[in-house]
Amino acid sequence: MFQANIVRHELRRSLKSAWWWALGIASVHLIYLPFFRTFADNAAVLEKSLKQFPKAFLEAFGMGRISMATVLGFYTLIFLLVQILLAIQAARYGVALISREESERTADFLMTKPVSRLAIINSKLAAALTALLATQAVLWLVAFAGWAVFNAGHGYDQGRLALILSSALPFQLFFLSVGLALSQMVRLVRNPTPYALGLGLGMYALSAFNHMAGEIKLEWLTPFQYFDPATLALNGYEAHFLALDLAVVGVALALGYWRYLHRDIPTVT
């Protein structure tokens, strides 16, 4: 159930914005990577001092789990910032997916055409997903190319880097689908930006605090924890978090679809 011309139309619009997001992601890499060399030298001192403490203790505080003197360790710093951008991008696409037609008053144009709502949402989702994948392709490219240039003689496990990068897909799916569900729960989204920022940065803030040890655990609330860069670099995916992520995606999509297929389209004045 797809409508080819909607896919084309949406793709043309979303690829234009995907290009800017990709540019942002590339800039973060280009700003950070040149400092790996000096940072690695400094961090060598750190290694020594950290060794004095019991490992379990350090891990509890989310520090010193991975050495910043290594390529993958340093990359966790970069990837966290990249995740913020990926989160906001995906959330924005999700929130705006349907609501954009309403806030820009084109919903009546589109929905009086002989297409089912199912075909509309499928096509738009396919286009948004393509734009996200295009962004991720750029991410893979700059990550691998960047490290080839700036590795400062340090070797690294390329498979592990690929694994970290691959997490971008389930990570963005979370924000895309939750954003979509969110947009369909309110009557009318006039401007998707606050919603996208709230979702993306809110999840980031939750995760930032979870990095510190404490009484309550919040890791099951935020995809920044499902796909924590340091954990990915050290241990790979955690099966239960990946499953949880996909479950949330499934539920959010179901909710978004169900609402869209059954709701009144508001007129905007």
Residues that bind other proteins (CB under 8 A): 3-5, 9, 28, 31-32, 35, 38-39, 42-43, 45-46, 49-50, 52-53, 57-58, 61, 63, 68, 77, 81, 84, 104-109, 111-116, 119, 190-191, 193-194, 197-198, 201-202, 205-206, 208-210, 212-216, 218, 262-265, 267
For other proteins, the closer CB: 116 or 158: 116
221: which 2 tokens? 């609330």
Smallest distance from the beta carbon of 133 to other proteins, in angstroms?
A: 22
- 17 and 85 Cβ atoms separated by less than 8 Å: no
CA atoms within 13 A on the CB side of 194: 3
For other proteins, the closer CB: 144 or 209: 209
Q: Per residue in 53-83, is it b (16+ CB within 10 Å) or e — as a string? A: eeeeeeeeeebbbbbbbbbbbbbbbbbbbbb
For other proteins, the closer CB: 202 or 236: 202
For other proteins, the closer CB: 115 or 255: 115
Smallest distance from the beta carbon of 190 to other proteins, in angstroms?
A: 7
Task: Name residue 2's amino acid.
Answer: F
- CA geometry: angle 181, 184, 186, nearest 5 deg: 120
Smallest distance from the beta carbon of 265 to other proteins, in angstroms?
A: 4
Smallest distance from the beta carbon of 197 to other proteins, in angstroms?
A: 6
Task: Name residue 4's amino acid.
Answer: A
Instruction: For residue 131, count other CB atoms closer than 10 A to its CB.
Output: 24
Smallest distance from the beta carbon of 147 to other proteins, in angstroms?
A: 17
